[in-house]
Amino acid sequence: MLNISDKVVKFKKLEEFESCKKIQTLNLPRKLSLWLIGFLVFFIIILLLPWTQTIQSKGKITTLRPEFRPQSIYPVIPGAIEQWYIREGDTVRAGDTLLRISEIKTEYFDPNLIERTREQVVSKEFSVKAYEQKAVALESQIGALQEAEKLKLEQTENKIKQAKLKIQSDSIDMRAAKVANDIAAYQFLRSDTMFQKGVISLTKLEEKRNKMQETSAKLNSSENKFLISKNELMNALIEMNSIRQEYTDKIAKARSDRFSTMSSIYDAEGSVSKLKNQQTNYESRNQYYFITAPQDGIVSKIYKKGLGEIIKEAEEILSIMPLNAQLAVEMLVRPMDYPLLKIGLPVIFTFDGWPAFVFAGWPDGAVGTFSGHIFAIDNVTDENNLFRVYVEPDTNYIHKIWPTGLRVGTGAYGRIIMNDVPLWYEVWRQLNGFPPDFYDESKAHGPKMKAAIKKLAK
């Protein structure tokens, strides 16, 4: 064995060696506790940070007014395409001619159709004037018949009066003749008695008999005259009724002719109005052969192509996207969030094609977003059971004005700004599926806690 016992170094502690001094023994439990405490403090601080609640929804670009939305152009009348004046992508102004069509209906082929219709109108107008003159003549005829009837009736009334007076005179004469006849008969009887007694002669008796016969003849004559007078009165009355009947028939016939003439006038006037309507329609139809742009816009798509192609009325020919449209965003919101919405709530957007960096709970720190506010909310859900919300640009934020390159139909992702709450409350709300808190500007003491949260806190 080697004699090295004298050279053996005395054992030292490990800490005395230089290599061991550089090596430290880790105190794992203590270090881990410190890290856990630090992480917990950091987590508590994070949970106490303010968080802005939002209602997130997808949408698309639309316009504030319906006339600024993509518009389809339809022909008013059917026809065949004769000439195109535009192509897709062209910018047109209101009134610019887009295309020209030709007539395809046989009833409109006559090139002098309007002039011929105008001649028919003039002819019918002359017919109306002729009927009007005839109606005036019949009215004059009715007046003349009424005057003639009046004169005839006056004449007949005079005859009746004369007949009545004659009856009165003949009646008096008849009564006088009857009295004279009675006296003559009485004298004859007395004379006959006196002749039987021989007081008077036969000659005197014959005189009395002749006298009685004369008075009897006069009585018969006066009675006949009286009867004739009565017959004349009856004839006059009959004549008056006959005159009334005759002139009533004549006047009725004249009035019937006048009414027929007035009916013809109305029919002719109706025909004139109808022809004028047709004339106006023909003149207006000529304007529809040229289809013009209703407003300023860009021709986005042409559905009918080529020449000679037949198009029907109300058939889509092309579509135009109006220029300088006032844009808006149409968003869809769940029914759970609908009660929290109101007009004027702020909204921030990110649009397809415009890069942005968004902090979910800190909208003020977002980059590349654009602002707006709600201006209309639907009261009825759509077919997907979602409510439509319309958002217009917010002009109060000049640095977030919507880009000019936006087009109708571009996708948008919106966040409706609600209340500011602690982060822990937002996490708790999301875990329980509660809707965001509604921000009430009259409350200046932070968010209003739900009843369930109050009970949980207790």
Rounded Cα gap, residues 123 and 268, in angstroms: 10
* Helix boundaries (H) for 347-422: none
Rounded Cα gap, residues 126 and 260, in angstroms: 17
Contact 55, 417 (CB under 8 A): no
Rounded Cα gap, residues 337 and 63, in angstroms: 24
> How many Å separate Cα 264 from the centre of its chain?
35
What value does the CA radius of gyration of the chain take, rounded to a whole number of Å? 61
Query: CA-based angle 50:56:62, to the nearest 5?
Result: 135
State which amino acid sits at residue 205. L
How many Cβ atoms are within 10 Å of 57's Cβ, its own excluded? 21
Confidence label for 282 from pLDDT (cuts 50, 70 and 90)? confident
Name the β-bridge partners of 330.
60, 390
Candidates 423, 424, 421; CA nearest to 446 is 421
| pTM (global) more than 0.85 | no
> What H or E segment, with its residue span, contains residue 302?
strand 297-302
Q: Which two tokens stand for residue 316?
A: 């889509």
Rounded Cα gap, residues 116 and 403, in angstroms: 59
Rounded Cα gap, residues 431 and 413, in angstroms: 23
pLDDT tens digit string along 410-434? 899 888 887 777 777 777 777 777 7
Confidence label for 290 from pLDDT (cuts 50, 70 and 90)? very high
How far, in Å, are 194, 293, 308 from residue 290 at the CA level?
133, 10, 15
| pLDDT tops 90 at residue 99 | yes
Q: What is the 3-state secondary structure (H, E, C) of 162-184?
A: HHHHHHHHHHHHHHHHHHHHHHH
Among 1-5, 183-187, 192-196, the least confident range: 1-5
Considering the chain, what percentage of its residues have pLDDT values greater than 90? 11
Candidates 368, 294, 295; CA nearest to 325 is 295
Q: List the end-to-end C-alpha distance of the chain, in Å, as a whole number.
A: 84
pLDDT tens digit string along 326-353? 888 999 998 888 888 888 888 888 888 8
Q: Which domains does the chain have, with CATH numbers?
A: 51-68+325-457 (2.40.30.170), 71-103+289-321 (2.40.50.100), 113-287 (1.10.287.620)
How far, in Å, are 79, 94, 226, 415, 438 from residue 380 at the CA level?
42, 36, 104, 21, 21
Mean pLDDT of 28-37: 74
Candidates 143, 217, 155; CA nearest to 180 is 217
The string of DSSP letters for 325-350 reads --EEEEEEE-TTTGGG--TT-EEEEE
| pLDDT tops 50 at residue 312 | yes
